[in-house]
Amino acid sequence: MKSMDIFSAQKRIAKIGATGFAARWRAPIAPALALLAILAVTVTILLVLFRHENALQRNQLMRDMQSIEVSVTRELLADQQFVDRLAFELAERRDANAYFVLQAEEYVRQRPAIANISWNSVSSDTHLYAPQSRARADILSERPAMEELERIMRLTEATERGTYTNVYRDYQQHSYLEYHSPVAHNQTQLGTISVTYPLHRLAELLVPANFTNRYSVAIMESDIATKREQAETINDNLSQSVALTLPWRDVRLVATLLKTESSLTPRILAALTLAMAAFITWSLLALRKHVKRRDEADLALVASHERFETVTEALDAAVYVADLKSNEVLFANETCRQFFSNASLNLEAGADVSAIESGFDAAPSRIFAASTLIDADGKHLGVQKDEFFHRTSNRWYLLRAKCIQWVDGRVARMHMASDITDRKQTDELNRQQQEKLLLTSRLLTVGEMASTLAHEINQPLSAIASYNQGCVRRLRSGAWDAEEIASTLEKASAQAERAGQVIQRVREFLRNREPTRTAHNVNDVMSGVAKLVELEAEQAQVELKLKLHADLRPVLMDRIMVEQVVLNLVKNAIEAMKNTNLLSRSLTMTTLPSGDDVVEVSITDQGHGITAESEAELFKPFFTTKPEGMGIGLNICRSIVELHEGRLWFSRNAGAGSTFRFTLPVAA
Ligand code: ADP
C-alpha cells in the first residue's frame, strides 16, 4: 500500500532524506569559504599596511638622516674650526703651553663628544692634553699608534692642512677617530693639535636625543658602513647610511630604525586575525559536529516515521493525524481513503481535517477537544474513545484519539477509527431479541399466573358473595342490626377493592413498553411482589418472610422489569419447596445495602436445591427441570439485572435450599 501524497510533514521528512544532507554539507563549506576570503582580505590589508608603514618609515629615515648629518657635520666642523684656530694661535704665542691648556680645557668641558684634545709635538717630547683631570694613561690608551701619529704628522706637514686619522681601536675594541691640525712656525712643523673622538659613543653624544630614541646611530668607516647597511636590509631592518664629508677621511653615518611600538601594531593585528581565524575554524568544526548529530537524529526520525507508516498502512483501521491548533491534516493512511473517501473528499496538500471528519454525525474535533487530550501543563493525557456514526459511508466507527508530538515538533491529535458496524448490528439484534424474550416471558408468566389469578380473584368474589348473602339473609329475617350490616358491606367492598388491585397489577404488568428507568426503593418492589404471590405461597403452604433494610438508597430502575426478576425468583423458590417437608417451607426476601452504592437483594428458600449438573446449565436459555417449565426465566432475569449494571448469582444454603442474589447500583 502506498500512503497518500498529501501531507507536508511527510514531504518535509522526505526532504531531510533526499536533499537535506547535501544542503547540510553545503552549510559548513559556505562559512569556510567566507573565512578564507576574510583571511585573504586581512592578509592583503596587513601586507599593504606593512608596505605603507615601511615606505613611511623609509621616507622619515631619509629625512631624519639629513638632519642628523647636518647636525653631526656642524658639530665636527665647529671642532675643526676650534682646533685649526688653536693651532694657528699657538704657533705665534710664547705662552703656548699655558694657552693650550686654558683653551683646550675650556673647550673640552663644553664638548662631551670629545675624549681629549692633545698637543702632539713633532719630536714627541711634549704631550699636553686636556682635560687634565684625566689620567695620562687613560688619555694615551685612546690615542692612535705611534706610526699613525707619524703618518698624520707627515701628512699635515705636507698639506699644511688639518686631517683625520684612520679609525683605530683601543684594547677594548672601542673605535676612535682623531682630527689633527698642524702647528707650524715659519714653515717649520712644530706638531699637531688633535681632538679625539670615541667613535663608539660619538653618535650618541652628537646626535640629538629625539633621533637616538628612534634610531641606533653609528659613525663608521665607509666599507664597514656599507656592509652593515646591506646586512640590515637583508634582516628587513630599516637602515640608511650617509657619507660624512670630512677632510681625508671617508666615514659614514649609519642609522638603523629601532623597533618602535608603531611597528608592532600590524603584528598585533596579524596575531589577532590568526586568533580569530583559529576561533572561527574551531566554531566551524563544532558546527559540523552538531550538524552531523542532527543528521543522525533526522535519519532516526525518518526511520521511525517509516516504521510508523508501515505499521499504520498494515492496519485494518483508518489512521489520521491532524495539527491540534490549525486542524491541518499531517498524515492519513490508505484505509482512511477506503473508509471515508467520497467524490467530494478533499485530500490535497494541507487539507483541513474537516475533509475527513465532516461525514461524522458529531464533530470529533469538538468531542476530543484539546482540553481532553492535553492538560494545562501541556502533558499528554491518555487515549480517549467514542463511537461515531459516519453518514456518508453509513457505518459506525469507534474513534480513538490521542495527543502526540509530530515529527516536525508540532502537537497533533492522532485518530484511529475501527469499523464497528457489525458489532453494533449484533448488539441491536441482541437487544431486540432480549426485548422479545422479555415479552414472551411476561406472557408466559402471566399465562402461568392466570389460573392462580382466577383463584385469587375468585376468593374475594366468593367472599363478596357470602358477605352479600349474609346481609340479604339478615334483612329478610327482619332481625338485623344496621351497624352489623354496614360492617359486613364494608368487608365486601374491601374484598372487591382487592380483586380490582389484582386486576390492575396484571394489566400494568402486561403493558408492553420500552424500559424506562426511574428512582425507586427496592423495598417497594419486594413488598409489591410479596403481595402478588401471597395467594400462591398460601396454597403451597410456604411462609413468606420479608427482611427489608429500613434505610436503603433509591435505585435507578425499570420497576416492572425488576419486579419481574423478583417475581421469577420467588416463584422458582416456591416451586422448589412444593414437595419438601411442610414444616420447613419458608421463603425469605431480604434487602441490604452492600457497600456505599449498591443494594443487594436475596431470595432464600429451603427447597430441593440445585445439583452440580444443573448449575452449569442454570442460566442457559431453555434449561428447565420442570415438566411445564420454559427454562428462560433465569436467563431473562440475568439480562435484566445486567441491563441495570448489576450482577445475578446463586449460592447453596448451609442447610437446605438455595439463595439467589442480585445487586443494583444506587442512583447517583
Ligand atoms: P423454569 O422455571 O421455567 O424452569 P427458570 O429459568 O426460571 O425456568 O429455571 C430453570 C431451572 O433452574 C429450573 O427448572 C430449576 O430446575 C432451577 N431452579 C431455578 N430456581 C431454583 C431454586 N430456587 N431452587 C432449585 N432449583 C431452581
Neighbours of 86 (CB within 10 A): 22
Q: How far does the centroid of ligand 1 lie from the alpha carbon of residue 517, in Å?
A: 27
Q: Are 566 and 603 in contact (CB under 8 A)?
A: yes
The grid cell for 38 is 576574510
pLDDT band at 643 (very low <50, low <70, confident <90, very high): confident
| Ligand 1 binding pocket includes 631 (Cβ within 6 Å) | yes
The pLDDT of residue 12? 44
Q: In what order do the strands lie in the sheet with 249-257?
A: 215-221, 249-257, 239-246
pLDDT band at 262 (very low <50, low <70, confident <90, very high): low
* Helix 421-477 × helix 482-510 angle, to 10°: 160
Q: Which residues neighbour 663 within 8 Å (Cβ) at sequence distance 6 or greater?
A: 594, 598, 599, 600, 601, 641, 646, 647
Q: How far does the centroid of ligand 1 lie from the alpha carbon of residue 665, in Å?
A: 25
Q: Are 462 and 498 in contact (CB under 8 A)?
A: no
The pLDDT of residue 301? 78
For the ranges 49-63, 439-453, 598-612, 654-668, the lowest mean pLDDT is seen at: 439-453
| Ligand 1 binding pocket includes 573 (Cβ within 6 Å) | yes
The pLDDT of residue 480? 86
Of all residues in the chain, what percent are helix, strand and coil, respectively (each to 5)?
55, 20, 25
The pLDDT of residue 225? 64
- What is the tens place of the pLDDT at every residue in 412-424? 889 899 999 999 8
For atom 26 of ligand 1, which residue has the closest CA?
610
pTM beyond cutoff 0.75: no
- Residue 220 scores a pLDDT above 80: no
The DSSP code for 315 is S
Q: How far does the centroid of ligand 1 lie from the alpha carbon of residue 610, in Å?
A: 8
- Residue 611 scores a pLDDT above 70: yes
* Dihedral sign, Cα of residue 269, residue 271, residue 274, residue 279: negative
The DSSP code for 552 is P
For the ranges 87-91, 340-344, 585-589, the lowest mean pLDDT is seen at: 340-344
- What is the tens place of the pLDDT at every residue in 164-185? 888 888 888 888 989 999 998 8
User: 368: closest CA among 333, 320, 334?
Assistant: 320
Q: Which residues neighbour 529 within 8 Å (Cβ) at sequence distance 6 or greater?
A: 563, 566, 567, 570, 589
Residue count (the chain): 668
Q: How far is it, in rounded angstroms, from Cα 179 to Cα 181?
A: 7
Q: How far is it, in rounded angstroms, from Cα 96 to Cα 89?
A: 8
Mean pLDDT computed over 117-142: 86
% of the chain residues with pLDDT over 90: 25
The pLDDT of residue 441? 63
Separation of CA 216 from chain center: 66
Mean pLDDT computed over 327-354: 74
Query: Does residue 173 sit in helix, strand or coil?
Result: coil
Q: How far is it, in rounded angstroms, from Cα 612 to Cα 349?
A: 67
- Residue 191 scores a pLDDT above 50: yes
> Which H/E stretch holds residue 176?
strand 175-185
- What is the tens place of the pLDDT at every residue in 78-125? 999 999 999 999 888 888 889 999 999 999 999 888 999 999 988 766
The pLDDT of residue 4? 42
The pLDDT of residue 427? 86
Q: How far is it, in rounded angstroms, from Cα 529 to Cα 517?
A: 18
User: 212: closest CA among 243, 259, 258?
Assistant: 258
- Residue 9 scores a pLDDT above 50: no
Neighbours of 361 (CB within 10 A): 9
For atom 25 of ligand 1, which residue has the closest CA?
609
pLDDT band at 310 (very low <50, low <70, confident <90, very high): confident
pLDDT band at 657 (very low <50, low <70, confident <90, very high): very high
- Report which residue type is found at 65: M
Cα-atom radius of gyration of the chain, to the nearest Å? 67
Q: Which of 448, 570, 586, 634 to mutate to test the pocket of ligand 1 (most atoms within 8 A of CB)?
A: 634
The pLDDT of residue 226? 67
The grid cell for 542 is 410456604
Mean pLDDT computed over 620-640: 83
Query: Does residue 350 sit in helix, strand or coil?
Result: coil
**Residue-averaged pLDDT of the chain:** 82
Separation of CA 510 from chain center: 69
pLDDT band at 476 (very low <50, low <70, confident <90, very high): very high
| Ligand 1 binding pocket includes 8 (Cβ within 6 Å) | no
The pLDDT of residue 574? 95
| Ligand 1 binding pocket includes 614 (Cβ within 6 Å) | yes
Q: How far is it, in rounded angstroms, from Cα 566 to Cα 589?
A: 9
The pLDDT of residue 514? 57
The DSSP code for 665 is E
- Residue 624 scores a pLDDT above 70: yes
- Residue 449 scores a pLDDT above 60: no
- Alpha-carbon distance values, 557 to 287, 516, 602, 636, 646 (Å): 71, 7, 17, 16, 11
The pLDDT of residue 10? 46
- Residue 498 scores a pLDDT above 60: yes
Separation of CA 540 from chain center: 80
Q: How far is it, in rounded angstroms, from Cα 340 to Cα 393?
A: 6
DSSP character string of 586-616:
EEEEEEEEETTTEEEEEEE--SS---HHHHH
The pLDDT of residue 542? 95
Mean pLDDT computed over 639-644: 85
The grid cell for 570 is 420467588
